[in-house]
Amino acid sequence: MTQIGKSAETGDGPTYVLGISEAHNCTAALLRDGEIIAVASEERFTRFKNDTGYPRQAVEFVLSHAGIASDELDLVVLTYDNPYPHFGVAIDHVDPRQQAAETGARRVTSLRRAVHSSAQFVYGMGSSNRVASRLLDFLEKNVYEHLYAPAVWPRLRRIQYRDLAAELGVPESKIQSADHHLCHAVSALYFGPVPEGRTIVLTLDGAGDDCCATVSVAENGTLKRLAQTPNLYSLGIFYTLVTRAMGMKAGEHEYKVMGLAPYADEEGVKRVLPIFEDLLQVDGMQFRGPTSTRAAGHRLERSLHRQRFDWIAGAAQQHCENLMREFAQNALEATGAVNLLAAGGVFMNVKANMILKDLPGLQYFGVCPSAGDESTAIGAAYHGYQMLTGKAPLPLSDLYLGPDLVPDEIEAAIRDFGLADSCDIRQPEDVDLETAKMLRDGQIVARCQGRMEFGARALGNRSILANPSSPEVVPIINHQIKQRDFWMPFAGTLLDESQHRYIKNPTNLPSPHMMTAFDTLPEAQADLAAAIHPFDKTMRPQILRQTDNPGYHALIRSFEDLTGIGAVLNTSFNLHGEPVVCSAADAVKTFMGSGLQNLSLGPYMISKNREG
């Protein structure tokens, strides 16, 4: 690739690469000289969960955090070779720079909406109509790749590049696209240090750039793809179809199916499992099925009629785990690898990851944090930096890469929401120590401190915390705050130095991002009863090192000094169906609109005045 931009040409000044994920939960990530310095998803700013399209406010944030203008970018990398149908630079205000882009933006918005609406119509019919299912199978296997994509994607890409260049004020020559699964794989390869030894990278998602699964070998800082599965046979789509068949929100509530699965009895799972086994299988390092997975929606819903909901969830999870185990084992055996890295939305399934981490002969297992499409923005930035410089990017030191709390904004939120009239506002000498004492006393505290964490998991800075030994906090959080389904477990944060009291982790596998589950020990089942799965006693922990987040670590250490428990219950600071809070105003609004009684916000501890 020809080097682009002032830094690559002259060596003067930092090299900046902007990665943009325009898909599900669109995200912007900014890399400076090999290091990701800021990343955030658009949903946190728009307050629309899993927002999709051009992440304008996220882009504005990462640029402002670096203190640069967009014309200082050396490269902008998008996370799809084929332009994502949702992508469009929507014009919601007009300034001189955007006037030039307005016409083109309207065209791309109209085109992407037409593409998406047509696809949704066919896919929806395919899930409920036998004829439409067969039509969809034919279209996916014959028409899409050979006729539709060559005719539509090049034009859509030209419009997209033109409008993005106008939006950012950069030349089109500084905009490139990267293969979607390459972005996934690169995000997994470089998010953290990998031990010596042969390494493979697996990707699994619903669909992206004509494939849904890949196997690559990492050699000499490069990735060599050995196998890929076309979108026709998708494990991600399978799990989404099951989620929809159970009456839940496809593309969002898959985690609820996973949480429900342990409650199913073994005989019920055995009854439903053959239905799923007929739909999708592993063939070497690929997935295969008798028909397109998406087109099988009608047959799947008909077959599941009158089956118990817990049996369906248990069988779906069992099939997912079986397929992922076989897929990974085949890849390890074919390559002789001892390290396994993973990315893609299917690897958000922490119970399947729990199976993979214990595969025979595996020395190291790592999952890209928040492995869905949001992390492809990081992968795109990494890939762009490699292309510009020929150098390997730097691993992430932590995920606290979002907006920081601003004192003026804290004061404004307290004032604008009139907290002084309804709350006790105090400024303790050590707000985290105060939080620890309140947790000891059985109180629930929302914590909004420092920079917002990136990704789907709350990692302490935008979290709701509670004493994990108190099961009575679970219905309070569920009914008054989170409105969660009754069967869903909560997670916890463990001090790294205390983890072996609570979980089985003989290899000391790092798990700072809540990306895998672990079996628990008897001490956890007593001390952490509110932070483990109530049925199978597994736990999805954030194993916290002092270097990850010193303030949060000190809070839990204080709690341990007070109670003897080296962990806290940790769930995301948001209401059900809403994104995790970002700003001080978001935190106060959620606090006041819920049953939360206590809020740790910057230097303040804010408690609602209790009636009577």
The per-residue pLDDT for 598 is 98
The per-residue pLDDT for 510 is 94
3-state secondary structure of 97: helix
The per-residue pLDDT for 219 is 84
Q: Are 81 and 23 in contact (CB under 8 A)?
A: no
The per-residue pLDDT for 359 is 96
Quote the DSSP letter at residue 25.
Answer: T
- With CA atoms as reference, report the closest residue to 88 among 20, 142, 41: 20
Q: Are 332 and 340 in contact (CB under 8 A)?
A: yes
Q: Are 351 and 258 in contact (CB under 8 A)?
A: yes
The per-residue pLDDT for 151 is 76
E strand or H helix at 282, and its extent?
A: strand 281-283
Tokens read off for 532: 């483990």
The per-residue pLDDT for 299 is 85
The per-residue pLDDT for 390 is 94
The per-residue pLDDT for 392 is 94
The per-residue pLDDT for 155 is 84
Helices (H), 254-403: 254-260, 266-277, 297-303, 309-335, 350-356, 376-389
The per-residue pLDDT for 115 is 46
Quote the DSSP letter at residue 293.
Answer: T
Q: What is the pTM of this model?
A: 0.90
Residues of the chain with pLDDT under 70: 1-11, 84-130, 132-133, 136-137, 139-146, 148, 611-612
Q: Return the domain boundaries, the chain.
A: 5-180+377-389, 195-367, 407-608
Instruction: Give the CATH fold of the 195-367 domain.
Output: Nucleotidyltransferase; domain 5 (3.30.420)
The per-residue pLDDT for 16 is 98
Q: DSSP of 201-239, one letter per residue?
A: EEEEEEEETTEEEEEEEEETTEEEEEEEE-TTS-HHHHH
How many other C-beta atoms lie within 10 A of the C-beta of residue 32?
18
Tokens read off for 414: 């307290």
We find that the CATH architecture of domain 407-608 is: Alpha-Beta Complex (3.90)
List of residues 6+ apart from 459 with CB closer than 8 A: 399, 400, 453, 493, 512, 513, 514, 542, 548, 549, 552, 570
The per-residue pLDDT for 100 is 40
- With CA atoms as reference, report the closest residue to 512 among 477, 538, 547: 547
No. of helices (H) and no. of strands (E), the chain = 21, 22
Tokens read off for 399: 């995920």
- With CA atoms as reference, report the closest residue to 18 among 165, 130, 142: 165
The per-residue pLDDT for 611 is 57
